[in-house]
Amino acid sequence: MDRPNILFIMSDDHASQAISSYSGRINQTPNIDRIWKEGARLDNCFCTNSICSPSRAVILTGKYSHLNGVKTLFDEFDGRQSHVAKLLQQSGYQTSIIGKWHLGHGGNSDPTGFDYWCVLPGQGDYHNPTFYDMGQKKQYTGYVTDIITDMSIDWLESRDKERPFFLMCHHKAPHRPWEPSDKYKDLYEDIDIPEPETLFDDYDTRSDAARLAEVRISDHLTKTDVKQDPPSHLEGQELTRWYYQRYIKDYLRCIASIDESVGRLLDYLDDEGIADNTIVIYTSDQGFFLGEHGWYDKRFMYEESLRMPFLVRYPKGITPGTIIKDMVVNTDFAPTFLDYAGVDIPDDMQGYSLRPIFEGAKVEGWRQSMYYRYWMDQDDHCVAAHYGIRTHRYKLICYYAPGRYYNGEYPEGTEETTWPQWELFDLQNDKYELKNVYDDPDYADVVKELKNELARLRKELKDDKDERHELS
């Protein structure tokens, strides 16, 4: 069997609305777009826990956070457990991870299942970064995106070319604090980036969670983030606009380097004559707020945070320019890689292979709803713990009693009796998620139906035992 190579490119915090094949509203990404033009674009790919380390653990294991052991940023990955790289390695693939790991270091948390690994410590640095090269600390000169790309191409050059490869090229960018390379530091300097429609959201009708979250562009970005103090005469909406432009331009400048990197990798595959037998995936570990609702960061179950970009190319099996609307979650990534490699998918993986839908099949019984859970209650950015369900039309969110990670105290202005709080959004009629209709009598039957489906999913996914809150 001529098993395909797999090049899995993942950036950190790259929102789909900052990829031109999805939007084109605020920037252009011609090299990333090429993957879709020569393959497929997934329009409904979602994260099960929108924060860096948990998402990466889900992608590796094909299991939700409560089963793989990484619920929060504080949890380290136990590399003794089975995961996709191990299974591919055992089946004869040459495996490598280069770039961001963010699942702990030392002991059982170093990468396992990889013939070669060279990863950043924690978040890593943008300029002159240090890496752990097979456990040995080394510092490199240059810009982190370029270095990760160089190392990835070097590894591809030196690999055993008689074996298929699985390469995880995982970028730090465009993670906070958004430090661009010298090459792109002046990009967008003379233009204003379009503002999102909800930049001045007032959170009316929403839960306390939206009001209390410390992710507002105007209030919570720092000098490190925007690189200078704001003009003293600005206030109100004009100050928010200033912060937005400073933030979004550096974010997009970091993406320009990522796009260039993708182009270099695609060109390498072409030059080597292996593009036809290589599956190329471009994605991010979750979505990101780019001023929507007045926010930066992620964590929330709102669309911009929940939605992941996912572009895939495989000339042997995917028709160029395909658009896929089926509902996909990040537990599906590992089963997909295994399926293409001809490796049995373990029964305890909770996702499904995407190969049939990549190839245009209509899969009977494909998911019509997905489950989400964010665990880091009130820690860092003061986002309340919550879980919920999204269907193609509706989204139901439950913010349950806070205090699990925040010194056991309730946030100012709330009481224990105010939790849980619920939000329901009709995405067909309210695509920006501005109107909570949970208490609207016209949606009473919808609420009941969604709670039943939420309870079913929690049981099916083995997350129905919770000492803090029972579904009501």
Burial of 56 (0-12, 13-18, 19+ CB in 10 A): buried
When pLDDT is averaged across residues 283-290 and rounded to a whole number, the result is: 98
471 has pLDDT over 70: no
Contacts of 463 (CB under 8 A, 6+ apart): 64, 66, 371, 373, 387
Distance in angstroms (rounded) separating the CA atoms of residues 209 and 378 = 9
Residue-range domains of the chain with CATH: 5-180+246-368 (3.40.720.10), 370-460 (3.30.1120)
- Do 215 and 294 touch, CB atoms closer than 8 A? no
* Amino acid 119: pLDDT: 98
pLDDT, tens digit, 9 for 90 and up, residues 77-120: 999 999 999 999 999 999 999 999 999 999 999 999 999 999 99
Max distance between CA atoms of the chain, in angstroms, equals 68
Strand order in the sheet with 310-313: 136-139, 130-133, 116-119, 94-99, 165-170, 5-11, 278-284, 310-313, 40-42, 322-324
Please tell me the predicted confidence (pLDDT) of residue 2. Answer: 86
- The string of pLDDT tens digits covering residues 184-207 is 999 999 999 999 999 999 999 999
Residue from 328, 399, 329, 315 nearest 363 by CA: 328
* pLDDT tens sequence across 304-339: 999 999 999 999 999 999 999 999 999 999 999 999
Q: What's the chain's length in residues?
A: 472
Check residue 145 and give its pLDDT: 98
Give 26-39 pLDDT, tens digit per residue. Answer: 999 999 999 999 99
Residue 216, token pair as written in the block = 């507002």
Distance linking the first and last C-alpha atoms of the chain: 52
Given a contact cutoff of 8 angstroms between Cβ atoms, the answer to whether 84 and 337 are in contact is yes
Alpha-carbon dihedral sign for residues 315, 321, 325, 331: positive
Tell me how far the alpha carbon of residue 390 is from its chain's centroid: 17
228-263 residue pLDDT tens: 999 999 999 999 999 999 999 999 999 999 999 999
- Alpha carbon 369 to its chain centroid, in Å, reads 19
Q: Tell me the mean pLDDT in the region 371-398.
A: 92
Nearest to 331 by CA among 61, 15, 54: 61
> Which residue is associated with the tokens 């695509």?
431
What is the per-residue burial (b if ≥16 Cβ within 10 Å, else e) of 403-423?
A: bbebeeebbeebeeeebbbbb
What is the model's pLDDT at position 472? Answer: 45
Between 144-158 and 236-272, two packed helices, what is the crossing angle to 10 degrees? 20
Tokens of 463: 């997350």
- 403-430 confidence digits (pLDDT tens): 443 444 555 655 555 678 999 999 999 9
The reported pLDDT for the residue numbered 400 is 85
State the chain's mean pLDDT as an integer: 94
Q: What is the pLDDT of residue 467?
A: 47
* Rounded CA separation 376/55 (Å): 13
pLDDT band at 377 (very low <50, low <70, confident <90, very high): confident
Compute the distance between CA of residue 185 and CA of residue 367 in angstroms, rounded to an integer.
Answer: 43
Instruction: Give dist(CA 130, CA 105) in Å, integer.
Output: 14
Written as one string, the DSSP assignment of 1-29 is: --PPEEEEEEESS--GGGSTTT--SS---
Q: Show the DSSP H helices in 126-186 as ranges.
A: 144-158
Measuring CA to CA, which residue among 113, 231, 250 is closest to residue 173?
250
Whole-angstrom distance, CA of residue 393 vs CA of residue 471: 22
Q: What is residue 434's predicted lDDT score, i.e. its pLDDT? A: 98
pLDDT band at residue 66, thresholds of 50, 70 and 90?
very high
394 DSSP β-pair partners:
426
User: What is the rounded average pLDDT of the residues 145-162?
Assistant: 97
Picking from 449, 461, 408, 453, the residue whose alpha carbon sits closest to that of residue 49 is 461
Burial per residue of 237-260, b for 16 or more beta-carbon CB atoms within 10 angstroms, e otherwise:
eebbbbbbbbbbbbbbbbbbbbbb
Q: What tokens were used for 290?
A: 């780019």
